[in-house]
Amino acid sequence: MSQPGIPAPGGTITGLQAQNGAASTSGSPYTNGPVPNTLMSSQMSRSQGYSSHLPGSYPHLIPAKTPLNPVLGQSNYGGSQTVSPLSNYQGPGETLNRPPMASSMVTSSLHSGPASRMPPPASQSPAATPMPSGSFLPGVNLPPPPPPPSNWQNNYPSTGSQINHSPLVTSQSTVSGNTNLTNHQYIFSGDPSLQTSYIKSGSAPPLVTPPLPSTFQPGTPIGPPPTGGPPPQTSSHSVVPQPPFNSPVSQAGGTSDTNNGSMVAHNSYDEIEGGGFLATPQLTNKNPKMGRSVGYSYPSLPPGYQNTTPANPVGTPPSGMPPSSLSYPRGPQTFPQPPLGANHLTASMSGLNLHPEGLRVINLLQERNMLPSTPLQPPVPNLHEDIQKLNCSPELFRCTLTGIPQTQALLNKAKLPLGLLLHPFKDLVQLPVVTSSTIVRCRSCRTYINPFVSFLDQRRWKCNLCYRVNDVPEEFMYNPLTRVYGEPHRRPEVQNATIEFMAPSEYMLRPPQPPVYLFVFDVSHNAVETGYLNSVCQSLLDNLDSLPGNTRTKIGFITFDSTIHFYSLQEGLSQPQMLVVSDIEDVFIPMPENLLVNLNESKELVQDLLKTLPQMFNKTLETQSALGPALQAAFKLMSPTGGRMSVFQTQLPTLGVGALKPREEPNQRSSVKEIHLTPSTDFYKKLALDCSGQQVAVDLFLLSGQYSDLASLGCISRYSAGSVYYYPSYHHQHNPVQVQKFQKELQRYLTRKIGFEAVMRIRCTKGLSIHTFHGNFFVRSTDLLSLPNVNPDAGYAVQMSVEESLTDTQLVSFQSALLYTSSKGERRIRVHTLCLPVVSTLNEVFLGADVQAISGLLANMAVDRSVSASLSDARDALVNAVIDSLSAYRSSVLSNQHPGLMVPFSLRLFPLFVLALLKQKSFQTGTNARLDERIFAMCQVKNQPLVYLMLTTHPNLYRVDNLSDEGSLSVNDRTIPQPPILQLSVEKLSRDGAFLMDAGFVMMLWVGKNCGQSFLSQVLGVQNYASIPQTMTDLPELDTPESARIITFISWLREQRPFFPILYIIRDESPIKAIFLQNMVEDRTESALSYYEFLLHIQQQVNK
């Protein structure tokens, strides 16, 4: 067939065979030919509804980008929220809640940097340039504005959409400070010599050793205070939030769609976390063109504190002291600070501490099989080991570039995205928790003291983000671990990049809220048909005592069809009392005080209700769904406290506000344009913002076989910091694996850790600026993420730019601070700090690239692009991200122009991962992916931590019919086989084997036709191939070592993640095999290039 826009198959096929190796183990010739090959004897192929849309066939669509502006107020579908001055609530002249901002109203073009390369003219031989345009990245030079929307970073304001919508936050800081915290308690448990073992994670109140007097007396068993005594004003260090800066009330701008007046005072957690600013009058932004910038907007510092250069030339720096520390006056005693700073950047100019392999340049056309056989490890920043060993774990905090370019110009040149990927509330085995009335933070920028600050002497520390010199508070002089006075640098806060603080009352605007759980159930005929209520109610009954909480926990239930049903669970009732409200136009709450009840006091009534609920609607004929009114009612009910709302929906809402109409047209599924990725109403987003304002998060469980417009419904979770769960075609009888998955995930959902009324702020070193956030949240004030709930399974991403030259800086740091209320009612702050070196050459930027983080960030950006422009535009931009960066590498780093496709070792998997993204459900073309499934995949891109995003994008493939204990892991007496990871190509399969594909949310075990008898009988428990059931979703537990090995391996894989992947065992005739083949990223499908073809295409573009 002739396919426009890709390298002609006929032209490349020979090379393809040669490169692929023509023969496989079974002797059939394999090419990555257009039709699934003979090995798989597929029945899919043409019946799958593939269109001939090819990834390369879209260049003509490009010009459409400019006018594709999302509907006002709905542009933020993708869950990213861009911070730009223009998108912040109000026009010039209106009051801002932060003085610095007022002076930094800039145009989008100034803020967002240079424009991207424009698409080549259409006349440029489309066949030869199949994947043009649509870059994610700023171009090299700075062309004059206005920037074309094809630039990633420009797509926000120029679309005319308002990205941030300001809730009305009035700003009375009613600090209601009742807290049980005792002042001056340093907490740790276990062996004090282990620096991370002060306390185990979470829960029980830690040991208090020793309780110090509330006024610390330095005389204890410890050394004397330094001569000269404490600094004159110990009290000058203050953790009290700066009250004035929020005094002007931020008004929602005229464009805000959230201006409904429902926001009330106690939501201003902004100031509680401490903000980044002091509202001092001198807070004028020196350079208004820079716009809002976390790194830039710090208050002006005394000049001497800015980028302190050695004022005291003492010759060569003493060991362990960075040059910047030389200016401190000689203290009374020598001060053994752990080494930090420039001296300890090893080989900083050449990345010489990289493994030699890391310096290789690879010709991917010759060496394209670069996938390691073990899980890909993140690159290690090129830091001195003393610094690196203190650094934040990459599981929690990762940067796309582990060497930060010192200027935006250098970053632009590299054409790689700069951003962070976070998993801030991940379940941790070890988490140091510190309680102390004094949380030491920078007086200027409110950074928490961390391992990467420098101590000028015992009494002063210099902030690693804004360079302000701060006093060490007296209390901080005592090290609770060693019980030694005078060791501020050995305190846990300075020894751990990940730490949690018990927050004193200054961090509260109201008493910590109780855990409140409200369940909202669809009980229409359709819902009852699926049988889901049984599962949910049973799961709740089983886990009622494991819901995170304490004696204050509250619970409530609402059900709805065409009417709304409330349940009075007041203590003392003999049975739950149902109250039906049929007026869905103006919903009121009957007896609000009895609907959300104390779980302990009303437990029996709750259990009664859960036992009867599944049967109560058995006979219902009501098909209508008044979801919107039910959500409004639930919101009203929860407004006074905040909490978690769990909504279960099985169909398109049809009644009242928020009613939706079907808009999926099956024959358009394959088209890359004209698909409905944007919400059809802003009702759900508005309601979500109201919820966010009242500290309510909404989690949506969609269990539906029909189209339910997840693009619209999902907004309720996205902006309220909830999560979306999707179980397509859920049915209690017809779809047992979905039921199993639902039950397992529900259990995790109900029992996992939860944080309430949370906010998160990410700070970075002066000169860097964060401008776009990805994830489920609402950006409250410029850079404060509002998270009514935070859960341990959510990931976030941010994009950054370099706004000021970092030439004088050797190290930069990023710090995320998550302030939340635990289910036990404690206010806590979890802080992660990541430190990275600054690099000055393009080669170093490339050497430090983290290809997984880059791919993950690009995926987030591509979701936004799909929504704000089009899917084809997003796909173009993904491809161009590879072309642009590799072109930059070729032209600016490599000296001799090799004809191949030359890539730095760090990016050896970049083309593969981008190709995998193009084939991922979010961005694929030409398949019959349902719209809701595509939307859900996009939600997952936004909300999943990087590790799972990568697994769903590029699955792991293992051969499992010959598992051995060689190289196995030993965990808790279990021996877990570790088979090598194989490339995703049918070349790697053979008919006499069995192969497990782990695609994150789903696992597929493909059994070859000639698979050995022993595997069939000892693992699958069947006599022969023909007797493998058509649908098999579980492995029998047989009493054989082979069975034990594979079951252990699969369970181990499942244990690693917070969701439950379904396992399908498939043989050749299985319909699931089509999905298995679709995940073979390196192979060609009718609608997508093979990896080799893709590389050829990239090479053509790069070498032009």
Q: Which is nearer to Zn ion, 401 or 445 (CB)?
A: 445
Backbone angles phi, psi at 920, to 5 degrees: -70, 155
Which of these ranges, 302-310, 441-449, 508-516, 528-536, lies near Zn ion under the rule CB under 5 A? 441-449
Considering only 16, 442, 903, 994, the residue that binds Zn ion (CB under 5 A) is 442
Q: Which is nearer to Zn ion, 718 or 763 (CB)?
A: 763
* Cα gap 267→279, rounded to integer Å: 20
Which of these ranges, 373-381, 421-429, 438-446, 573-581, lies near Zn ion under the rule CB under 5 A? 438-446
Length of the chain: 1104
DSSP string, 230-275: S-TTGGGS--S--GGGG-SPBPPPTT-S--SS---GGG-HHHHHT-
Closest distance to Zn ion from the beta carbon of 379 (Å): 28
447 lines the binding site for Zn ion (CB under 5 A): yes
Closest distance to Zn ion from the beta carbon of 470 (Å): 8
Q: Are 712 and 680 in contact (CB under 8 A)?
A: yes
Closest distance to Zn ion from the beta carbon of 816 (Å): 15
* Cα gap 526→620, rounded to integer Å: 9
Closest distance to Zn ion from the beta carbon of 763 (Å): 8
Q: Which is nearer to Zn ion, 290 or 558 (CB)?
A: 290
- Binding to Zn ion in span 687-726, by CB under 5 A: none
Q: Which is nearer to Zn ion, 672 or 819 (CB)?
A: 819
Closest CA to 923 of 1081, 795, 700: 1081
Closest distance to Zn ion from the beta carbon of 274 (Å): 11
Which of these ranges, 457-465, 564-572, 842-850, 965-973, lies near Zn ion under the rule CB under 5 A? 457-465
Closest distance to Zn ion from the beta carbon of 327 (Å): 17
Q: Which is nearer to Zn ion, 185 or 444 (CB)?
A: 444
Closest distance to Zn ion from the beta carbon of 840 (Å): 24
Q: Which is nearer to Zn ion, 467 or 846 (CB)?
A: 467
Bond preceding residue 1029 cis, omega within 30 of 0: no
Closest distance to Zn ion from the beta carbon of 765 (Å): 9
Closest distance to Zn ion from the beta carbon of 464 (Å): 8
- Give the helix ranges, DSSP H, for 588-732: 603-616, 627-638, 683-693, 710-713, 715-718
- Binding to Zn ion in span 468-487, by CB under 5 A: 468
* Cα gap 897→911, rounded to integer Å: 20
Closest distance to Zn ion from the beta carbon of 442 (Å): 3
Burial group, residue 273, by CB count within 10 angstroms (0-12, 13-18, 19+): buried
Q: Which is nearer to Zn ion, 371 or 466 (CB)?
A: 466
Residue 299 carries which side chain, given as an amino acid letter?
A: P
Neighbours of 740 (CB within 10 A): 16
Closest CA to 635 of 935, 260, 932: 260
Both tokens of 1041, joined, read 């070592």
Which of these ranges, 444-452, 498-506, 794-802, 942-950, lies near Zn ion under the rule CB under 5 A? 444-452
Question: What string of H, E and C letters represents the secondary structure of 188-221?
Answer: CCCCCCCCCCCCECCCCCCCEEEECCCCCCCCCC
Q: Which is nearer to Zn ion, 131 or 466 (CB)?
A: 466
Which of these ranges, 369-377, 446-454, 497-505, 567-575, lies near Zn ion under the rule CB under 5 A? 446-454
Closest distance to Zn ion from the beta carbon of 432 (Å): 22
465 lines the binding site for Zn ion (CB under 5 A): yes
- Binding string, 926-945, against Zn ion, x = CB under 5 A? --------------------
Helices and strands per DSSP (H, E), number in the chain = 25, 37
444 lines the binding site for Zn ion (CB under 5 A): yes
Closest distance to Zn ion from the beta carbon of 1058 (Å): 35
Q: Which is nearer to Zn ion, 468 or 771 (CB)?
A: 468
Q: Which is nearer to Zn ion, 452 or 1001 (CB)?
A: 452
3-state secondary structure of 1042: helix
Q: Which is nearer to Zn ion, 398 or 462 (CB)?
A: 462
- Binding to Zn ion in span 203-232, by CB under 5 A: none
Q: How many residues bind Zn ion (CB under 5 A)?
A: 8
Residue with tokens 């409904």: 260
Closest distance to Zn ion from the beta carbon of 226 (Å): 23
Residue 586 carries which side chain, given as an amino acid letter?
A: D
Closest distance to Zn ion from the beta carbon of 448 (Å): 10
Closest distance to Zn ion from the beta carbon of 579 (Å): 54
Q: Which is nearer to Zn ion, 237 or 1097 (CB)?
A: 237
Considering only 466, 533, 555, 886, the residue that binds Zn ion (CB under 5 A) is 466
* Cα gap 62→75, rounded to integer Å: 19
Q: Which is nearer to Zn ion, 459 or 685 (CB)?
A: 459
Q: Which is nearer to Zn ion, 442 or 867 (CB)?
A: 442
Q: Which is nearer to Zn ion, 469 or 1007 (CB)?
A: 469
Closest distance to Zn ion from the beta carbon of 393 (Å): 23
Q: Which is nearer to Zn ion, 276 or 514 (CB)?
A: 276
754 lines the binding site for Zn ion (CB under 5 A): no
Neighbours of 13 (CB within 10 A): 15
Which of these ranges, 443-451, 545-553, 617-625, 969-977, lies near Zn ion under the rule CB under 5 A? 443-451
Cα 759 to its chain centre, rounded Å, is: 15
886 lines the binding site for Zn ion (CB under 5 A): no
> Which residues are CB-contacts of 463 (< 8 A; sequence separation ≥ 6)?
442, 444, 445, 447, 453, 469, 470
Considering only 131, 362, 445, 929, the residue that binds Zn ion (CB under 5 A) is 445
Closest distance to Zn ion from the beta carbon of 450 (Å): 11
C-alpha gyration radius of the chain: 29
* Cα gap 151→20, rounded to integer Å: 36
End-to-end CA distance of the chain: give it in Å, rounded: 27
Closest CA to 944 of 1059, 1051, 1052: 1059
Q: Which is nearer to Zn ion, 236 or 964 (CB)?
A: 236
Closest CA to 66 of 133, 126, 164: 133
Q: Are 1087 and 52 in contact (CB under 8 A)?
A: yes
- Give the helix ranges, DSSP H, for 991-1035: 1013-1015
Q: Are 858 and 876 in contact (CB under 8 A)?
A: no
- Binding string, 387-426, against Zn ion, x = CB under 5 A? ----------------------------------------
Bridge partners, residue 779, by sequence: 785
Closest distance to Zn ion from the beta carbon of 404 (Å): 18
Which of these ranges, 141-149, 466-474, 667-675, 814-822, lies near Zn ion under the rule CB under 5 A? 466-474
Q: Are 44 and 1077 in contact (CB under 8 A)?
A: yes
Closest CA to 755 of 529, 457, 548: 548
Which of these ranges, 145-153, 229-237, 241-249, 439-447, lies near Zn ion under the rule CB under 5 A? 439-447
Task: Locate the DSSP E strands across 538-596.
Answer: 554-560, 564-568, 577-581
Both tokens of 471, joined, read 């006093």
Bridge partners, residue 262, by sequence: none
Considering only 39, 411, 440, 463, the residue that binds Zn ion (CB under 5 A) is 463
CA distances from 70 to 77, 161, 182, 937, 952 (A): 9, 7, 52, 20, 28
Q: Which is nearer to Zn ion, 466 or 696 (CB)?
A: 466
Which of these ranges, 285-293, 461-469, 880-888, 944-952, lies near Zn ion under the rule CB under 5 A? 461-469
The residues of the shown chain that bind Zn ion, judged by CB under 5 A, are 442, 444-445, 447, 463, 465-466, 468
